[in-house]
Amino acid sequence: MIREIKINYDACLRCGECVKSCVFSVLEFLDEQPVVVNPKKCSGCMECVRRCPSNAIAVSEK
């Protein structure tokens, strides 16, 4: 299953919670913002979505 991870940078607070919550290393903090680096590793666990304080990250199935 390929999943699409979208970060809304207008809403993102750069808190890093999504990066810390992703145990599959899908996300990394680069240049002081979260970046999707390994979308194929996403399990769809939605932990990043749950932990984001500003609803800035969304995960959907392609």
- State the residues that interact with ligand SF4 by CB under 6 A: 5, 7, 12-18, 21-22, 24, 26-27, 34, 42-48, 51-54, 56-57, 59
Shortest Å distance, C-beta 57 to ligand SF4: 4
Give the nearest distance from C-beta 28 to ligand SF4 in angstroms. 11
Residues with Cβ within 8 Å of 56's Cβ and at least 6 positions away in sequence, in order, are 7, 8, 9, 11, 12, 13
Which residues, at least 6 apart from 23, have a Cβ–Cβ distance to it below 8 Å? 45, 47
* Nearest distance, CB of residue 2 and ligand SF4, angstroms: 12
